């Protein structure tokens, strides 16, 4: 069983698809407004969707995903974060150095620590 954040699009979706192709069961997590449910259905019966916002906290993610995990498989083998837990910034916006470093730090920590 794998849990993939940011699973409704991009790298997260591609990873979830590949995991299922290789025989894994996957729960994709993404924002409530995402196309997560449609993506999970398109990937197949070994993929489920849990609506969550990982920018809130990892605890929120696990609460939202736990129902799908328990229903699909009693053991969680892997958590893969492919989302960015901070708000997107347009390319033409210039951030102060301290704000930029804070954003990068949060992104790195969310991927390394969770």
Ranges of each domain in the chain:
2-83, 85-114
Q: What pLDDT sits at residue 80?
A: 74
Q: What pLDDT sits at residue 81?
A: 75
pTM, rounded to two decimals: 0.65
Please give the CATH topology (third level) of the domain spanning 2-83.
Rossmann fold (3.40.50)
In which residue ranges of the chain is pLDDT below 50?
Answer: 86-92
Closest listed residue to residue 26, CA positions, set 14, 40, 38:
40
Q: What pLDDT sits at residue 15?
A: 94
In 10 A of CB 99, how many CB atoms?
11
Q: What pLDDT sits at residue 2?
A: 87
Q: Which residues of 12-36 are buried (b: 16+ CB within 10 A; e: fewer)?
A: bbebbbebbeeebbbbbbbeeebeb
């Amino acid at each position: 069983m794998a849990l993939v954040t940011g699973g409704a699009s991009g790298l997260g979706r591609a990873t979830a698809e590949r995991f299922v192709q290789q025989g894994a069961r996957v729960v994709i997590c993404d924002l409530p407004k995402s196309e997560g449910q449609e993506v999970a259905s398109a990937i197949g019966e070994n993929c489920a969707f849990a609506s969550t916002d990982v920018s809130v906290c990892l605890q929120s993610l696990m609460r939202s995903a736990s129902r799908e995990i328990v229903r699909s498989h009693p053991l969680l083998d892997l958590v893969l974060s492919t989302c960015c837990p901070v708000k997107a910034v347009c390319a033409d916006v210039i951030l102060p150095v301290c704000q930029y470093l804070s954003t990068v730090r949060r992104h790195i920590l969310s991927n390394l620590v969770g």
